[in-house]
Chains A and B, each alone.
Chain A
């Protein structure tokens, strides 16, 4: 997917001005957070499960190569083919090769964010292969001129029922429906023949289980199961960091993933797919492939940002983020929005292409607190800010003012004079009133709110005077 994060500021403005989007964001705001909280009560010890989940993900990253080799050996032993892609482009080429080898015209797709990273749909279309998104949200976006998702698990959360109704009527040529059940039935009727006719299914993968060579897929609509069992060929496309050692580890992670994501104790479907159809199996694909993508992941191993690879894509960070919930996912300009996206996007796409993302955060740490694998997201954003400074990507005025501030703050006498000057300046701006409504040094502040006039004297001056009077 082409990155647009460099236009963050203007994209944000557009979305703040979009009253319909704002209404949609308000309506869903807090819903998932509340559901998550309610679902945690059915875990006897959330902190313990979280610590265990964190440990599973952290320890696998320490020996990622070993676990991937184990996964490859086990998957191959069970008849699947494991292919490795250095980046999204290579992943697209590999998928297209597979499609051509098996004479595929139509592909049904379950949700895969890695396929968004790779821009797979566009690549398939260019190769004359028709991709059909079957996750309801992804389907809605695809028929709306390939609109990108705005959330990693609820891709169409930015749209209202009315907008979907209007879209269906226009694209399907049907009478507009207002009932969600009817709308869903309409999509189902459109998708049913695609499931039956497609030669290949592509899924993502929530986890790769090394000891069995399986892929685990967590879904709510059942489309994932159709995509992976009905067509002749199944390709599981996911990132190399998704591997975990054992089925036991999967059990732990499944206790925490749906709860963190949608507040479900368990999702409607959990599929564990191991190799192609074997003799005597009732269903399953004839051929099974894994396309495992690096796409910048391996570079993070052993570095400052390794913790980010623990991410299990639950979306809790964005569901709890005041910024995400105010500006919506599209503002971020690439595949991954919210706090996890603000860390991943600069790492995968280049610091200079996503300069705003690590900055556009209040560091309130709601994300860090709810993350099921304890990723310290605000700390990682701070580290990215540090990398930006080191790479000379921050405005010189900002770097200079930070240095100057620190230089003065190390010299108390000079600092005290500076404070006195600042008090006089601010009081001059206030001009006898209790507030300042326009301030040249920080126009951003007064664009949105008043700035108070300071007291006549700073604390240090008042206190020193008081101490003198008291003869101390």
Chain B
């Protein structure tokens, strides 16, 4: 398949996610690069904030609905919405419609948005049908399946297939790769000792995989895993977002 001409495939609304915006902008720049390389025109609505998941998971339904309505209004004009996070894409795709179970007008809009929202690797592999990725990473990589991406969106084969396109990457199997890392949003702060113990097991499995790098698709899980690795004195294992790995070097404009 030859590469489509630049921007010919249409616009894609990029939902950056609040955590990427605040903590690790390089993930969003990597996503922009990947979407462009796939032949689409990424658009970043500058009024975007948060998808409302913290409120949804904390039992604050009113907050969740208010933020969902904002996001729907912001993004529904795009033929396609992409987020570099299985968790936030999962919030939009599987939870948004239920936020409006008793509000037909909004539910219909939520369902329409849900149907065209994708996690980044899902978009690249399934929608864009990408066969080449710009990254030139070389090394051993283990992939951790974050919970929402895996179980709400079915993201499993896509990131691995994309990594297969990188000749320098040697994928290593990760034992219990589908097990939760113990992040769970505010759970990590409310029940730190349980969260830490679960994260420890994840780190043990990562270290046992023999991979120099662990890649994953959610910044929350990344911060949890990387933070735990560093706390136990592991400075060597690299923790990287799949977008950063696939995109490779980011040009300083």
Contacts and interface: CB of A to CB of B under 8 A. Distances in A.
A408 B152 CA distance: 28
Given A13-B193, A361-B184, A449-B231, A423 B58 contact: no
Interface string B179-193: 110111101111111
Contacts of B59: 382-390, 394
Interface string A357-373: 00111111110110000
Contact of B49 (A361, A364, A409): A409
Contacts of B163: none
Interface in B220-249: 223-224, 226-228, 230-231
B57 A363 contact: yes
B130 interface: no
B197 interface: yes
B226 A452 contact: yes
Contact of B52 (A322, A406, A423, A437): A406
A445 B18 CA distance: 18
Q: How large is the interface on A (under 10, 10 to 19, 20 to 34, 35 or more residues)?
A: 35 or more
Contacts, number: 198
Interface stretch (B3-11, B60-68, B108-116): B60-68
Contacts of A16: 193-194, 197
Interface string A303-322: 00000000000000000001
B52 A362 contact: no
Interface SS of B by simple majority: helix
A419 B61 CA distance: 23
Contacts of B58: 385, 389, 394, 398, 402
Nearest to B49: A409
Interface residues of B, number: 67
A409 B71 CA distance: 10
Contacts of A384: 59
16 contacts: A322-B179, A322-B198, A323-B194, A362-B184, A369-B151, A379-B98, A390-B59, A406-B64, A409-B67, A410-B49, A447-B193, A449-B227, A452-B227, A454-B24, A455-B26, A463-B25
Interface of A: 9, 12-13, 16, 30, 322-323, 326-327, 356, 359-366, 368-369, 379, 382-390, 394, 398-399, 402-403, 405-406, 408-410, 412, 415, 419, 422-423, 435, 437, 442-445, 447-452, 454-455, 457-460, 462-464, 466, 469-470
